[in-house]
Amino acid sequence: MLRVRGLTKTYRSGDKALDGVDLDVPRGQLMALIGPSGAGKSTLIRCVNRLVEPTAGEVMVDGSPVTGLGGGALRAARRRMGMIFQEYALVERLTVMENVLSGRLGYVGFWASWMRRYPQADVDEAFRLIERCGLGGMHDKRADQLSGGQRQRVGICRALIQNPALLLVDEPTASLDPKTSRQVMRLLVELCAERNLAAIVNIHDVALAQMFVQRIVGLRAGRIVFDGAPDALSTETLTSIYGEEDWNASRPTEEDEEDEAQARAIATRLAAEAR
Amino acid sequence: MPTIPLPSGHLAWRRRTPRAVLLRWFGWLLGVLLVVQCWEIMNADTIWEFVYDAPTQAGDLLGRMWPPRWSVLEKLWWPLWDTLNMATLGTALGVVLGVPVAFLAARTTTPSLAIARPIALLVIVSSRSINSLIWALLLVTVMGPGVLAGIIAIALRSIGFIGKLLYEALEETDPKQIEAITATGASGAQRIAYGFVPQIMPTFAGISVYRWDINIRESTVLGLVGAGGIGLQLNASVSRLAWPEVTVMFVAILCTVAVSEWVSARVRAAII
């Protein structure tokens, strides 16, 4: 389904965000991409739909290349890839319905979209998706009137109405509370199963990822350092992805204790001087 | 902020280095010298006898302006209507021409950074650097006196105002919303219609109404150079030394401007 070969991105500042990434995601698989901030997770999914232009490498969706396309061909390729964003990225001053239907922009002409005259089939599908994602009756609300969880559902509807083969999901739960995060993840899992979609989900919350996905890929400094089932993710592999940290407990480590002792000493000295 | 080691071993912490303090004193000294010099030049060209006389002259003028000749009001309705139309049509034309210029000038929407953007910026700067009154003066020379010259003068000045404020708004749009629209496979025109337009709509409405308000004030004086409206009447009355008529015109202009400010404040409050 998605096939990435030797994907490399070097930013103009000289930072190498991706360094020869090879990745295959089959149809129907929900894959979590984990890694520390700055590991290249966002860059990777943005290179797939070319919101970021890769420096080298190849991206294929459904056997046809995405890299090297331009103009209309690139737009047609983007229609097949739905994207969901961390802070929802809804057009705040448009209604829920307008936001959802904007997912069809790649299919309708300019005047039809400007006059909001979408084909009846698109409108039917929009109503169906709004209902499916638990937003029934909200189609006329403006996006800036919704809560975080509702906005993310609108974002999901916008991606799904594109009739995508692949979902690119960038930190879908980073701005949501724990309960809403789980609801959104569950919705994503169900929808991928329903529609047999491939999906890449960038996610910070490793525990949440382990709970919902079938496969986890760990990225560190632009390279894949782990690729396997959620159960295979051990303390050692987490360390190899994120660096040294005690993964099992939140009790104070030796280092913390040292810091604390030092802080206490300084406080005592200050008190003595004040006297 | 500099720190200076003291002989006692402590670190002194100052706002500026001694060198910066000295430089600033020197700067202030230069400023004072400049003011003194300017005063000298101004004195050389002023006839002080006339200035001493000014309060008497002003009193005399006020005396001649009173009482107002209200009968002139019936001749003013039509020029006032012209003035309003000049401002409104000029603003409309300015909006129609200014909006595309803004899209060409904004870094986020311009089709080419190397060609289109500098040209659009040049249009904005040249429109802004010339006052409506001077535009009107030029246009009256080129196309003869009348309301049309006034409308075009207002429009030419408005292009720069609307273009500049709108292109700044376009550059301050939220890039995430645009990115999301791009990711759906939208075309360039659709990105503008769905990504940019909703974001700049409130600013656009505010700018247009504000410019209309300014244009009403400016169009009242355009008649002074022959571009029609109430300014033309004002000029005629001043030339005939008909000061009681001038008083009535001042009152009429004041009322028009007050009403336009009230309308634009209400409209802006309704939008934002």
> What's the pLDDT tens digit per position in B245-257?
889 888 988 998 8
CATH annotation of A2-274: 3.40.50.300
Q: How far is CA A211 from the centre of its chain?
A: 16
The answer to whether residue B64 sits within a structural domain is no
Helix boundaries (H) for chain B = 18-45, 48-65, 77-105, 116-129, 132-143, 147-171, 175-183, 188-191, 197-222, 230-239, 243-271
> In the predicted model, what is the mean pLDDT of chain A?
87
Mutation target for B interface from A43, A91, A163: give the one with most B CBs within 10 A.
Answer: A91
Phi, psi of A85 (to 5 degrees): -110, 160
Is the pLDDT at A256 greater than 60? The verdict is no
Per residue in B129-146, pLDDT (tens digit) is: 988 888 888 988 998 888
User: Which residues constitute the domain of residue B3?
Assistant: 1-33
Q: Note whether B18 and B107 are same-domain residues.
A: no
Q: How far is B197 from chain A (nearest CA, A)?
A: 10
The secondary element (H helix, E strand) that includes residue A258 is helix A254-274
Is the pLDDT at B84 greater than 80? The verdict is yes
Helix axes B147-171, B197-222, angle to 10 degrees: 150
The answer to whether residue B62 sits within a structural domain is no
Helix boundaries (H) for A141-177 = 148-160
Can you give the residue ranges of every domain in chain A?
Answer: 2-274
Q: With beta carbons under 8 A apart, name residues in chain B contacting A81.
A: 183
Give residue A269's identity as a one-letter amino acid code. R
Strand runs labelled E in chain A: 2-10, 16-25, 30-34, 56-61, 64-65, 81-84, 166-170, 198-202, 215-220, 223-228
- Angle, CA of B160, B161 and B166, to the nearest 5°: 100
What are the residues of chain A with a beta carbon less than 8 Å away from any beta carbon of chain B?
49, 51, 75-79, 81, 83, 85, 87, 89-94, 98, 102-107, 110, 113-114, 155, 158, 162, 168
Q: Note whether B141 and B7 are same-domain residues.
A: no
The answer to whether residue B199 sits within a structural domain is yes
Q: What pLDDT does A257 receive?
A: 59
The structure tokens 């505010």 sit at B206
Per residue in A60-103, pLDDT (tens digit) is: 998 888 888 888 899 999 999 999 998 889 999 999 999 999 99
Is the pLDDT at A252 greater than 70? The verdict is no
Q: Given CA atoms A223, A227, A231, A235 in this order, what sign does their dihedral have?
A: negative
Do residues B231 and B84 lie in contact, with contact meaning Cβ atoms separated by under 8 Å?
no
Do residues B20 and B28 lie in contact, with contact meaning Cβ atoms separated by under 8 Å?
no
End-to-end C-alpha distance for chain A, whole angstroms: 73
Per residue in A93-112, pLDDT (tens digit) is: 999 999 999 999 999 999 99
Q: Are B181 and A102 a contacting pair at CB < 8 A?
A: yes
The answer to whether residue B40 sits within a structural domain is no
Find the residue in B nearest to A162 (Cα).
Answer: B184
Q: How far is B32 from chain A (nearest CA, A)?
A: 47
The answer to whether residue B42 sits within a structural domain is no
Q: How far is B263 from chain A (nearest CA, A)?
A: 25
With a CB cutoff of 8 Å and minimum separation 6, the contacts of A138 are A96, A130, A146, A150
Tokens for B202, please give them. 């409130």
Global model pTM greater than 0.90: no
Q: How far is A106 from chain B (nearest CA, A)?
A: 4
Q: What pLDDT does A114 receive?
A: 93
Cα-trace Rg, chain A: 22
Q: With beta carbons under 8 A apart, name residues in chain B contacting A85.
A: 176, 179-180
Gap between the Cα atoms of B112 and B100, Å rounded = 14
Per residue in B197-230, pLDDT (tens digit) is: 999 998 998 899 989 989 988 888 888 887 878 8
Question: B94 falls in which pLDDT band (50, 70, 90)?
Answer: very high
How many domains is chain B partitioned into structurally? 2
Q: Are B183 and A49 a contacting pair at CB < 8 A?
A: yes
Q: What percent of chain A has pLDDT over 90?
A: 46
Per residue in A171-221, pLDDT (tens digit) is: 888 888 888 889 889 988 988 888 899 999 999 888 888 889 989 999 988
Q: With beta carbons under 8 A apart, name residues in chain A contacting B199.
A: 91-93
Q: Note whether B16 and B82 are same-domain residues.
A: no
Q: Note whether B10 and B125 are same-domain residues.
A: no
Do residues B87 and B150 lie in contact, with contact meaning Cβ atoms separated by under 8 Å?
no
